[in-house]
């Protein structure tokens, strides 16, 4: 039986959930809040504390302010990769919550999934925290990064409508690729060339497997569902299920079907974002492979 969190039980949060059409938000708002606090504490305090314990205070003090800042962000991103990427991959691979049995369109689009709601809470919390960091450095980060985080956060919060709960882990599994990427960058700072090369290769392999091979499949699957949903709404409409308020949704069990009409512009927007993300993955993979190839070639020339 689903239970509302301590913060989600407040009348203000439930009124916000009802006004935004996200009755499942109160159950996960605690996760969002604690995740924001976790990443804030990691970036501002815990990353330095852990680094001093592992590397030694003398080495940490020898880093420039810019290197310390980058190291703290790499540590925080590494934590994100383990929490979000590994958990999302587990949900996809294990088929937890009956994911493998969702053969019907409505099951994939509107079936409540508490495991994914927790995953969404972690993800929304991270992106909200990171959005705050980007806004503090807006002159260097630019409009693109800020817009990306706003769009990603709002898209992930659609699972509290509920909508797209089945497909969200497929894309958050991409975060696994950030683990070797950040270890590679940190190894370069420490001057560990072997670890840097090993994690650089792992990064490329995982990027190809998760973002190109599996990412293309996931993009095709979700795009097909968007088209089917458009056709279903256009021809016969969606079958009606009970509409829950936020207070009523606190008692809704996992795997409950909660069908709600989706505006056509939302379907189109989600479809565009899916195609753009798939395109970006190919573009990033080309740039990563090219830069790695150039680096290895220059290293080979330097030894001859």
Note the pLDDT tens digit of each residue in 96-105.
766 777 888 9
Torsion of CA 221, 84, 181, 67, to 10 degrees: 140
Q: Is residue 23 within 8 Å of residue 249, measured between CB atoms?
A: yes
Measured distance CA(95)–CA(118) in Å, rounded: 16
Q: What is the pLDDT of residues 187-196, one digit of tens each?
A: 999 999 899 9
In a domain, 94, yes or no: yes
Count of structural domains within the chain: 1
How many helices (H) and strands (E) in the chain?
15, 0
Among 134-143, 165-174, 248-257, 258-267, the minimum mean pLDDT is found in 134-143
Q: Quick one: how far is CA 123 from the chain centroid?
A: 5
In a domain, 169, yes or no: yes
Task: Give yes or no for residue 304 having a pLDDT over 60.
Answer: no
Q: What is the pLDDT of residues 232-262, one digit of tens each?
A: 999 888 887 777 888 888 788 888 888 888 8
**Non-local CB neighbours of 204 within 8 Å, separated by 6+ positions:** 285, 288, 289, 292
Task: Give yes or no for residue 215 having a pLDDT over 90.
Answer: yes
Tell me how long the chain is: 304
Coil, helix or strand for 197?
helix
Q: Is residue 30 within 8 Å of residue 6, measured between CB atoms?
A: yes
How confident is residue 291, by pLDDT bands cut at 50, 70 and 90?
confident
In a domain, 127, yes or no: yes
In a domain, 3, yes or no: no
Q: Is residue 39 within 8 Å of residue 80, measured between CB atoms?
A: yes
Measured distance CA(199)–CA(192) in Å, rounded: 11
Task: Give yes or no for residue 271 having a pLDDT over 80.
Answer: yes
**Non-local CB neighbours of 58 within 8 Å, separated by 6+ positions:** none
Q: Is residue 296 within 8 Å of residue 290, measured between CB atoms?
A: no
Higher pLDDT, 137 or 89: 89
In a domain, 212, yes or no: yes
| First vs last C-alpha separation in the chain | 67
Q: What is the mean pLDDT of residues 208-218?
A: 95
- pLDDT in the model for residue 4: 57
DSSP track, 223-234: HHHHHHHHHHHH
What is the phi/psi pair of residue 111, to 5°?
Answer: -85, 125
Per the structure, the complete domain to which residue 27 belongs is given by 11-303
Q: What is the pLDDT of residues 6-51, one digit of tens each?
A: 777 788 888 888 888 888 888 889 999 999 999 999 999 999 999 9
Helix axes 215-235, 264-303, angle to 10 degrees: 170
Task: Give yes or no for residue 85 having a pLDDT over 70.
Answer: yes
Share of the chain above pLDDT 70, in %: 94
Integer CA distances (angstroms), 81 to 190, 217, 238, in order: 21, 21, 37
In a domain, 5, yes or no: no
Q: Is residue 24 within 8 Å of residue 161, measured between CB atoms?
A: yes
In a domain, 2, yes or no: no
Neighbour count for residue 51 (Cβ, 10 Å): 19
Integer CA distances (angstroms), 85 to 79, 170, 173, 176, 190, in order: 10, 10, 5, 4, 25
């Amino acid at each position: 039986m689903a239970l509302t969190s301590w913060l989600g039980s407040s009348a203000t949060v439930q009124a916000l959930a009802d006004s935004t059409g996200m009755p499942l938000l109160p159950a996960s708002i605690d996760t969002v809040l604690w995740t924001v606090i976790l990443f804030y504490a990691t970036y501002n305090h815990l990353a330095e504390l852990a680094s001093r314990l592992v590397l030694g205070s003398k080495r940490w003090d020898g880093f420039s302010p810019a290197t310390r800042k980058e190291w703290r962000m790499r540590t925080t991103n590494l934590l994100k990769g383990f929490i979000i990427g590994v958990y999302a991959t587990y949900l996809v691979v294990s088929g937890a919550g009956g994911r493998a049995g969702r053969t019907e369109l409505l099951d994939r689009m509107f079936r409540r999934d508490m495991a994914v709601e927790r995953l969404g809470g972690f993800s929304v919390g991270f992106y909200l925290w990171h959005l705050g960091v980007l806004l503090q450095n807006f002159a260097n980060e630019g409009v693109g990064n800020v817009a990306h985080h706003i769009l990603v956060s709002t898209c992930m919060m659609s699972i509290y409508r509920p909508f797209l709960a089945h497909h969200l882990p497929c894309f958050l599994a991409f975060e696994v690729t950030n683990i070797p990427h950040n270890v590679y960058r940190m190894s370069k700072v420490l001057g560990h060339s072997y670890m840097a090369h090993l994690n650089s290769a792992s990064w490329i392999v995982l990027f190809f497997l998760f973002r190109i091979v599996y990412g293309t499949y996931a993009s095709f699957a979700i795009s097909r569902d968007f088209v089917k949903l458009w056709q279903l709404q256009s021809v016969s409409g969606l079958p009606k299920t009970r509409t829950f308020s936020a207070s009523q949704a606190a008692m809704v069990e996992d795997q409950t079907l909660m069908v709600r009409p989706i505006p056509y512009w939302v379907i189109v927007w989600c479809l565009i974002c899916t195609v753009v993300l798939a395109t970006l993955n190919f573009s990033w993979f080309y740039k990563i492979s090219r830069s790695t190839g150039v680096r290895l070639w220059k290293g080979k020339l330097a030894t001859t």
